[in-house]
Amino acid sequence: MKNEIEQLEQRIEQLDKEILILEHSVAQLTRDIQDKELAFLYITEVVIRALEIIKKNKYTKTQYGEAIKEAEVDILIDSVLENTKYGFLDY
């Protein structure tokens, strides 16, 4: 009986370790998914802004790369302004 209790206690300890490993894996997967979602949102925003720039400036296909660069700079500037507005970037 004592041996069975010890075996059960060891099994519980092993299961606790496995649960911790699974929790860590789930947390990592969640972070990975969030990173991918943020990347998708960023790319979508760049494309939308680039299309607006192309339309506004009547860019040709050879200037699309420039429109993408302008869109990325616009997003960066907006981000800095937004963070400054809420006090995240205090100088």
pTM: 0.69
Instruction: Check whether 89 has a pLDDT greater than 70.
Output: no
Average pLDDT value for residue range 66-77: 96
Q: Where are the domains of the chain?
A: 2-85
- pLDDT by residue (tens digit) across 15-31? 999 999 999 999 999 99
Specify the length of the chain in residues. Answer: 91
- pLDDT by residue (tens digit) across 40-70? 999 999 999 999 999 999 999 999 999 999 9
The pLDDT, as a whole number, for residue 1 is: 84
Contacts with 54 (C-beta within 8 Å, 6 or more apart), sequence order: 63, 64, 67
Cα–Cα dist 79/66, whole Å: 20
